[in-house]
Amino acid sequence: MNFKLAIFDLDGTLLDTSEGIFGTANKAVVQLGLSAVEDRAQLAKFIGPPIAQCFINVYDLADELIDDAIAIYRTEYDQTGRFQARPYEGIEEMLVDLRSRGYALAVGTLKYEPLARQMLEHFGLSQYFDSIRGSDEASTLSKADIVTAILKE
């Protein structure tokens, strides 16, 4: 059996979400009484890993502050940060091309799944995907868990 499938990450692959992520993360730590990070190379560590790990990697956040930081981050990102994203140039054309060549397309992201779906819908990209999978509310899923769920569909 020959099956063509392409799985994409969301942040930094389909959408440039860096400005919203960086600004929102800084707002969260400032609300906790800590200092914002301005170094973009340091902030870039916030894209990719699970959100709790991001707060540790970038801000060296103490364990007892992580849940509060995540709650603030999610609220702020939902209200403003997600609207600072933009699709990378040529993404929609690439998705159309892959679909025309018979590929099934999926998104596998560590971003909270309902938010990932909303963002893809906002930019008119959700229509191209057969599956959109993301993290659960508690951020307990690994990227491997998400990809496995896509492959089982």
Q: Which two tokens stand for residue 102?
A: 């018979």
φ/ψ (deg, to 5) at 8: -115, 145
How far apart, in whole angstroms, are the C-alpha atoms of residue 45 and residue 41?
7
The C-alpha angle 122, 106, 100, rounded to 5 degrees, equals 90
Which residue in 9, 11, 68, 97 is the catalytic one? 9
Q: Is 9 a catalytic residue?
A: yes
| 26 phi and psi angles, rounded to 5 deg | -65, -40
What CA–CA distance (Å, rounded) separates 63 from 117? 29
Q: Catalytic residue positions?
A: 9
